[in-house]
Each structure stands twice: as structure tokens, then as C-alpha cells.
Amino acid sequence: MKFTNGFWLMREGYSVTYALQTHRAEVLDAAGQSALAVIAATKRIKHRGDTLNAATLGLKIDSPAKDVLRVHLSHHTGGKPALKFEVTEALVETTASVDDEVATITSGALSARVSMGENWNLEFVANDKVIAHQRSRALGFVVDPEGNHHLMAQMSLGVGEQVYGLGERFTPFIKNGQTVDIWNEDGGTSSEQAYKNIPFYLTNAGYGVFINHTGRVSLEVGSEAVERVQFSAITQDLEYLVIYGPTPKDILDKYTALTGRPPLLPEWSFGLWLSTSFVTDYDEKTVQGFIDGMRERDIPLSVFHFDCFWMREFQWCDFEWDARTFPEPAAMLRRLKADGLRISLWINPYIGQASPLFEEGKQLGYLLRRNDGPGGTAGSVWQWDLWQAGNAIVDFTNPAACEWFKGKLRPLLEMGVDCFKTDFGERIPTDVVYFDGSDPEQMHNLYTQLYNQTVFDLLVEHSKDDAIVFARSATVGGQTMPVHWGGDNTSSFESMAESLRGGLSLGLSGFGYWSHDIGGFEGNPDAAVFKRWLAFGLLSSHSRLHGNESVRVPWAFDDEAVAVTRKFAKLKQLLMPYLLETSKEANVAGTPMMRAMLLEFAEDRTCWNLDQQYMFGSDLLVAPVFSAEGEVEFYLPAGEWTNFFSGKVVVGGRWIRENHGFDSIPLYVRQGSSLLTLVGSSLD
């Protein structure tokens, strides 16, 4: 959040205390790994008397992995430590030293240098070059008008330095100039809110920063001090990790080594998913009609998804089929799966008051409770009427509640369900008491991790390597439980473009797989939007036809939509060996399947800004068409590129303008790729 009034003054009611100079630094040695402990004075210390009535800031700098330095910043240390995300640590050789001029710690090619002089200066140095620094007024604590204590840090933002990532954000792709709150919200794709907030960013200056704090982290990306990225949280201790690349791929590799990498996924998950849509009327006859319609039109279908009304209204979630429309669900699933189709079911972590599970969860103590008991302890079940009447929320900090939740899903898997769409998980209140005593503010973002982990663990237990969820909310580490989709977009070209921005940002935040609702979720897309979106959606890592109040079967639009769906669904089948190989890069190095251009072409300055095209793996360039007329302009990096459909070879290093029919899209193969053998393949 913003604390200042311009560059010189504080906002009314705010006070700030900055680190002004290093008072003491010493080397700590533990288990063969060195660390630095630093005491930063917040006033000039010229003699012993100056140490009275003065706050200090403590810094511990160590290394959890090569080329990574972790800074733990603290003020008062007598309270409960802040919640942090799990980080996988490796034994790494570090060296540290202190002399009269500088205290230094080094891990791999990255060093942190703390000046021992009169002015505070913490620099991060790689290969003898300062890549980022925290100098005057860059570290401190702020007290706001309500008395809240914020720890604040600022990283330098150099000339031409651009910031990317911070989760699946639908605002401008480059985050410079933005204010970003790391706080999961159910805000759709057309706002500054996000379902998947990740307190990690990378820059084109060769490094990334991971703020390891589970609660609300506020970032001012050149939007308060324009030459800095500021991050702050209401806390007494704040941890952040500086990760040296130097390339964007290197940064993601090292970040996901710390926070987790996505698993390999079953081949069937990469095919086309078809949904009943959200609030449409349907029964087995309707579902069978959709599936038969796809088969009759020769459109390959991999997964059929039942959205919310497979359960009875007001009873979400009770995890029971609505007997009025699905009287024999087990037999129905056997019929649907006879030809190899997979089945997905919609669920969420909320329990409506009409659900039989509400009273059961209440009596067992498995639902979040208000702090209205004696002395602010757990009292009544937390409820509201938004979403479902009397809605309550499962408390996944309780291991018994996790097993209870799994127990409700397990019969569905035994019946023949293959995966779950784990919807929601963002609107998590802070006026609650958790079973394990967690701070509710620091649990807000972390809740989705516990929710998705519970479901994903069950799927692994049941189906091992076939485990997959289709999740909307996420936080750090969520990439280990794929797939995630982009949430509630609208049926417009603008929303199609914002969806792509969100997916590219998520890919730069450590997530290897991503999907979106083809045609848009809200509203009923016109045929042009739907057909353009089909090509984009079927050239995404995961592809789903899903809407809100209307279905997304292609024949609901026009005959050409059917032909476009068939062509691009078959194209994805043709590309399947390449996609499976590409997914291994996500699994091994955290490189997303759908890649912002800067990941593959970091040396090309033009690619730093591109957000209307992407690389699908290392060898395929995709430029979605965002207009009914078919005009599209895109950038081909240097080298030779081959048009996948025509076989025409084009020399890159320039912008290209083309016009495409609905059955086409700029799709170019990189020189030397094995995909060149597929160029011109018939997709009839």
C-alpha cells in the first residue's frame, strides 16, 4: 500500500522508521552453511548514548539454494512467527565475511553486500555487477493510523527494467506503474483482482523476488517511488528471496525448485473438455446428446464435465447426484465411459445450510467458526448467504476435516468419476477461528492450497499418475496440483485478450499448465468471438468449452463453428507427441507450456513487451486473432519460420501483418524443429 505523500512526506496519520546504517554484522555458521546477521540502526549511532530509545531492524541473510539469497527482516521478535510457504532447501555452499567496509554473503554467482559505512546500503551483486539494491529509505517499518505495524522493503528499479508475474493478473502484462495486492478474490477477469495471487515477480534485469509471506502483501511497482518496487505486509517479520537467473527461464527453474514443479499429466487431459455449462438445465439425455453430437460431427472429445447442477439446488455441496435428473448415476457413467471418455465433476469447499453435510460438519467441528465464543474463541459456525443460503466453509487446517471431505468424494471416484473441478476458494473470511489456531489473515490466500491439496491427494491415492484437478484459485505451490483455469471471463475479444495476459503472467509465476473458458464464460458469444477463441483455446495447454447460462457446443453457433472446432481439435491431436514432450519441460524446469515471448527470446528487446502472442513450447509461435475481420499483426523473432498451414518460409526479425479466415491463425514453426515434418498435414 502507499504510505507516502509524494517523495518527501508521509501520508497523514502514518509514521515511518527507516534503516539508516549498519550497527553490527556477524557471520553465523550452522551445519557448514554460512549466514549473515545484521543489526540495522534507525538513527545515527555516534556514541553509546545514541543506542537508547532507538528501534533496530534485524536482518538474517542466508541461502536455501544456489544463486538464491534469503533475507529475513524483523522488528519485534517476541510474537508468533508469520506463516510462510513451504520452501525446498538444498545444501548449498555459502561463504560470508565481515570487514570494516562491507559484510558479504555469497551463494553461487549471487552475493549480498551490506555497507558498514554511515549510510544504509544493501546490494545484490551477480558476476561483479549490481543487479538490485536497497539503499536510502528502502527498509523500514510503518505504523498506520489504525496502529497496524507494516514491514516495508523496496528494491531498485533500473532504467528500462520491467516487472512481470505476480500471479494470474489480467491488468497490463508489464506490471510497472501498478499497485498489486496479493489477496485472492473472486473478481472475474476484467478487474485488478485475481484468483491466483503469487508474491513472486521477475524482471528483465536477470533476477526474481519471492516474498515468502502468506498474508496480504502489497506491492507498489514503480507506483509510489517510481524508481523502486515496494512490498509490505502487516507483520513483525518479513522474508524475501532474491533469485538470480540470469535468464527468465533460469529464474523460473530456480524459483520452482524452491516452491514445487508441476507433475506430468495424463495424455487424455490435453484433449478437448466439454461442459454442461454453469446454470443450464440438463439431464442424462442432454449430456448424451452433447456427446453424440460431437461424435456425429467427428470432433474428438476427451473429457465431459458436469457442472454444479449435478447436485440439487441449495445443497451445494452434498456430493450426491440429483436423483430427479440422474436417477442411476453409476450406470450412466458406465455408458458414457464405454468409449474411453473421462468424467469431471464440479465441487467447491462450501457447504450450504440445506446440505445434509452442514449439520454433520457442524457437530464434528469441521467448519470454520466465528470468534464469538468466550474471550474471542471459536463459537458459532461462520455463515452468510452469498453463493448458497447459510453457506459455511470447510476448515482444512483440521486433518480430520480433510479426511471427512475426502470420504465424501471417494465414492464418486469409485463410481467412475476421473477428476474434479475444484472451483472457488477465494472468498475466505478473516473474522474466523481455525482449528490449528492459524492467523486468519495469513490463512486467506493459503486456504486454497489446503483445499486443492486435499482433493489432489485423494486423486493421487485413487489414480496415481492420472491425478488432475481443474482449479480456479491458487497461491504459491499451487503449480504442483494442476490444472488451473482463468476464471470468469466475458464473451468478447477484449476478454479473450485479457485472458491471455492472465495466462502469460501465471506462466511467469511458476505455473506450467493453464486453461480458459473458450468463447467466454459470461454472456453468449457471437459466432465470430467463439470461432476466433476456438483456435486460441485449442492451442492452449488445456482446452475447455464452458459457459454460464448458455452451452458451448459448436453447433449452437453455426456450421463453420463446427468445422473450426473439428480442425483445431484434430490439430491438437496431431501435436500431442510434441505437447507431451513440452510438458516435461514444465515438470523438470518449471518452464510453462504456454510461454511469454520473452522466455524464449530474452535477448530480443521487442519480445519484452509482447502479450498478444506466445510460444507454445519452444518451437510453435501462436498469434490469436482478436477481431471478426481477421486482421492480425504479430512479431516474428530473428531466424526462419515456417507457416504451419501453408508451408511458406518467412524470415523473422520483423513485424508481420496477415488476414485470416475463421479456420486459420498465425501458427509458425521455428527453424530446425521436428514439427516441420507435420507442416501442411491434412486436418480433414
Distance CA 684, CA 681 (A): 9
558 counts as catalytic: no
Catalytic residue among 320, 423, 498, 585: 423
Q: Which of 466, 464, 434, 465 is nearest to 450 (CA)?
A: 434
Question: For residue 463, how many other CB atoms are within 10 A of its CB?
Answer: 14
Distance CA 73, CA 238 (A): 5
Distance CA 629, CA 607 (A): 26
3-state secondary structure 85-115: CCCCCCCCCEEEEECCCEEEEEECCEEEEEE
Q: Which of 328, 314, 452 is nearest to 389 (CA)?
A: 314
Distance CA 235, CA 442 (A): 10
DSSP code string of 195-221? SBEEEEEEETTSEEEEE--SS-EEEEE
∠ CA(143), CA(146), CA(151), 5° rounding? 30
Q: Which of 258, 260, 198 is nearest to 68 (CA)?
A: 258
On the 0-12 / 13-18 / 19+ scale of CB atoms within 10 A, 647 is exposed
∠ CA(519), CA(166), CA(7), 5° rounding? 125
Which conformational region is residue 365 in: left (phi greater than 0), alpha (psi within -120 to 50 degrees), or beta? Answer: left
Check: CB of residue 539 under 8 Å from CB of residue 270. no
Check: CB of residue 595 under 8 Å from CB of residue 509. no
Question: For residue 508, how many other CB atoms are within 10 A of its CB?
Answer: 27
488 counts as catalytic: yes
SS3 285: helix
Catalytic residue among 239, 253, 318, 488: 488
Distance CA 561, CA 551 (A): 14
250 counts as catalytic: no
Give the largest CA-CA distance in the chain.
Answer: 87
Distance CA 222, CA 128 (A): 26
Q: Which residue has the cell 490435453?
A: 270
Distances (CA, A) of 473 to 369, 424, 447, 684: 22, 6, 9, 38
Question: For residue 335, how many other CB atoms are within 10 A of its CB?
Answer: 15
Catalytic residue among 426, 498, 522, 619: 426
Check: CB of residue 336 under 8 Å from CB of residue 344. no
Check: CB of residue 200 under 8 Å from CB of residue 164. no
Distance CA 446, CA 83 (A): 9
Q: Residues with catalytic annotation? A: 423, 426, 488
